[in-house]
Structure 1
Amino acid sequence: MRRLLTRLGGPAVAVMLTVGPARPAQAAGPAYFEFTDAGRRTAVVRIDDPGTIQHARDLLSGATDQQPHIFGRIVKSPAAYNPKWSFHYDPGTVHFFDVMVEVCDATTPFVEDHLDEAGGSFLPGLFWCPWTSRLTREVPAP
């Protein structure tokens, strides 16, 4: 029995050295991206969904050009990561699109200037889909 363990021990150690020790999976955290639109002002969006984060990174790297525009529900309050504006996207609602209905299209400054009207006939349901939005870069977490 001792010889069997010795014989198996060498290959087992070699496999462990090649593969390396098991590492616990890192929890995927949120990612933050700067974007702009026809208003030429920048804002920051927080994205929580790993698949959506990957799509955003693929857009920035040029791996895809599909669904380049941001869509989601806005919250009428500032966020620490987006201090220039009195609103931000609800991170759990952020997605990307190619084509969307006109009723949710507006530039960032227009949303800021008409925030008190958002949720009614302007941006019904607080859904905002700036047709000209484009990611510009990934930014560090605040």
Structure 2
Amino acid sequence: MRRTISKLAGVAAVPMLAMALAQPAQATAATARPADASAPAYFEFTDGTDTFVFQLTDPAKIQQARNMLSGVDTEDTGVMGTVVKTPAPYNQPWNYQLDPGSVHFFSMATEVCDASISYVNDHLDEVGGALLPRSTWCPWHSKLTREVTAP
């Protein structure tokens, strides 16, 4: 009887060991990123109606955005930055973009910087004045949806 229990324990241990060894390899493969840490990354967010793509160049911010998408980081999930009144090829059909160096993430912000994606586009000539003073935009309902490939 004792020998049978020992054999069963040994047989059960093999699959458990295989699972334990396989999980780190799977996690590494799933989170692998391009080797060039200085390459920009592009992310999409929604305001509940439209989507907007922005560029990040800071490796720490890129990692923070990836952590948000994977569910590791659940704090400061809104997207905030400075509006640049020129279109970007990666952010069609919008006539503006966010300055990559100004982008950061927030959990709460003042009402004066809140506006929808389409409202900013439709009133772009007013940005920096009465609309979005200092061109700071913080759409309250912004939520990252995915990382997108470089243009």
TM-score after normalising by structure 2 = 0.75
Q: Which residues of 2 match residues 81-92 of structure 1 at below 5 A?
A: 81-92=90-101
Call closer, same or farther: CA 1:26–1:32 in 2, change over 3 Å: closer
1:119 paired with 2:128, answer yes
SS in structure 1 at match of 2:119: helix
> How many pairs align?
117
- State the percentage of identical aligned residues: 54
Q: 1:129 deviation in Å?
A: 0.3
Q: Which runs of 5+ in 2 are unaligned?
A: 1-34
Distance 1:129 1:52 in 2: 16
Runs (4 or more) in structure 1 with deviation over 3 Å come to none
Equivalent residue letter for 1:107 = S
Call closer, same or farther: CA 1:109–1:26 in 2, change over 3 Å: closer
1:76 paired with 2:82, answer no
TM-score after normalising by structure 1 = 0.79
1:131 alignment partner in structure 2? 140
1:51 paired with 2:60, answer yes
Q: Which runs of 5+ in 1 are unaligned?
A: 1-24
Q: Between Structure 1 and Structure 2, which shows a larger proportion of helix residues?
A: 2
Within the candidate set 100, 106, 109, 2:115 is matched to 106
Contact kept in structure 1, 2:79 and 2:138, CA below 8 Å: yes
Q: 1:88 deviation in Å?
A: 0.4
SS in structure 1 at match of 2:63: helix
RMSD: 1.1
Equivalent residue letter for 1:132 = H
Call closer, same or farther: CA 1:26–1:58 in 2, change over 3 Å: same
Distance 1:27 1:48 in 2: 9
Q: 1:26 deviation in Å?
A: 3.6
1:97 alignment partner in structure 2? 106
2:44 alignment partner in structure 1? 34
